[in-house]
Amino acid sequence: IMLRSQFEEELDKLHNQFYAMGNEVLGQINKTVRAFITHDRELAKEIIEADAKINEFELKLEQKSLEIIALQQPVSGDLRAVITVLKATSDLERMGDHAASIAEATIRMKGEVRIPTVEAEINKMGRQVRQLVESVLDLYLHKGDSDTAYDIAAKDELINQYFDDIRELTTEEIKKEPDTIITGRDYFQVISYLERIGDYAKNICEWVVYLNTGKITEL
């Protein structure tokens, strides 16, 4: 069995790796919305390639977590700390996947008629998603309390609101301009990826509550 100080050192390393992975994902979300709005297919390709790095992060973090569990046999709060990283890591990895999917939509939309009013709203939704992910990483890094976790998770509602509003706006625009139906389909996909990223960010809030209380909650 490892010494206490050794365990804490290992856990610190795990947290640092998690935070590095989180920043990578945050960068991907930032870039993917920008690429989509500016129709930058080169940037979109970079995002898709960079997704492999996030998947590698996840593997390393997973191995490290399982190693700590096997070698240290941590209990109660210590075990929760390791499980939290393990679970939150998998949420981050999925966010990265969705960012890459938005990049794929960016590449696919070559030559389609665009709807600027809708894209302006998608841009705002993207900003909201990025702020949520940033708050969640901050909460995690500073070992935030459950109340803060609840407050941050509640902000996901704003993202859901954007989702509904943009879907409505897009539908209206398609009625006016039937040629934009294919574009509309891509918009629907992109906003559903952004909405999913919000859900995964909210999951991490749930893991923070679990870390603090030992209870698994639905926020």
What integer pLDDT is reported at residue 72 of this predicted model?
85
What integer pLDDT is reported at residue 1 of this predicted model?
56
What integer pLDDT is reported at residue 97 of this predicted model?
97
Q: Measured between alpha carbons, how far is 130 from 185 in angstroms, rounded to an integer? A: 23
Question: Mean pLDDT by 10-residue block, N- to C-terminus, for the chain (219 residues)?
Answer: 79 93 96 96 97 96 93 88 94 98 95 93 98 96 92 96 98 95 96 98 95 83
- The per-residue DSSP string of 74-95 comes to --HHHHHHHHHHHHHHHHHHHH
Kindly state the DSSP code that residue 212 receives in the 8-state scheme.
Answer: H
Identify the CA nearest to 213 among candidates 50, 19, 205.
Answer: 205
Residues with Cβ < 8 Å from 22, sequence gap 6 or more? 92, 133, 137, 140
* Token pair belonging to 30: 């930032």
Give the number of other CB atoms < 10 A from CB of residue 159. 23
Residues with Cβ < 8 Å from 67, sequence gap 6 or more? none
What integer pLDDT is reported at residue 6 of this predicted model?
85
The H-or-E segment that residue 1 falls in is none
**Contact 160/195 with Cβ under 8 angstroms?**
yes
3-state secondary structure (DSSP) of residue 177: coil
Angle between helices 181-213 and 116-141 (to 10 degrees): 10
